[in-house]
Amino acid sequence: MSDDASVPSSPSPRTPRAEVRERLLAAGAAVFAEQGVHEARLDDVAARAGFSKGAVYSNFSSKEDLLAQVMQRATNLVLGSLRELVRADIAAVDIGDVVRAAFGRHDQGPQFALLSEFRGYAIRHPEFLPEFVRQRRELQDGVLELVELWFGAHPEIDPGMPLEDFATVLIGANVGIVFDAEALPGVNPGEVVAALVEAVIRRR
């Protein structure tokens, strides 16, 4: 499945390695989402990033390695955004608006196209499935950590279910709405998830 390595020239020494890697990851995300994992070529990723294919192979061992790192970058961006906004001291009356702000930071369309490709590839290539599971578990654990942080600071609020289930419901609601976006015109997943959070908190 991996492209054969023909290692042309590397990027200019003036380009920091971290910048090269970030540009390749961003380009990989765009190419995988647009073309699909099977059709995507590492030449296209390199060209999108402004480098030769040699730059790809000096940073990633294969197309599969690039795919895994592209998805890890997406996972890190989601969790990083949530961790910046969700704090223990946020009042119950404000938590819904915090959720809306978190969702408003990013367009989920391209990210979900990428996630769909990642999932499809993992289904068709069982050897890649553990990496998919690891990253999705990392997201679940990260959201659960934030849920536990907030509810731990607000013992007066009872979510009515185990916190792990609540975190799973939040993620599942978002993924389901984004997946069915074309069939749900005008439905904003951030608004729905925020309303779900507010409904749980207002039950007392």
pLDDT in tens, 108-137: 888 888 899 999 999 999 999 999 999 999
Q: Identify the pLDDT of residue 11.
A: 53
Cβ-based burial of 25 (10 A; exposed 0-12, middle 13-18, buried ≥19): buried
Q: Identify the pLDDT of residue 4.
A: 46
Q: Identify the pLDDT of residue 112.
A: 87
Q: Identify the pLDDT of residue 192.
A: 93
CB atoms within 10 A of CB 201: 18
Query: How far, in Å, CA of 81 to CA of 3, rounded?
Result: 33
| Measured torsion, CA atoms of residues 86, 109, 30, 123, in degrees rounded to the nearest 10 | 90
Confidence of residue 29 (pLDDT cuts 50, 70, 90): very high
Confidence of residue 6 (pLDDT cuts 50, 70, 90): very low
Query: Is residue 204's pLDDT more than 90?
Result: no
Among residues of the chain, what percentage have pLDDT more than 70? 92
Query: How far, in Å, CA of 93 to CA of 101, rounded?
Result: 14
Q: Identify the pLDDT of residue 2.
A: 45
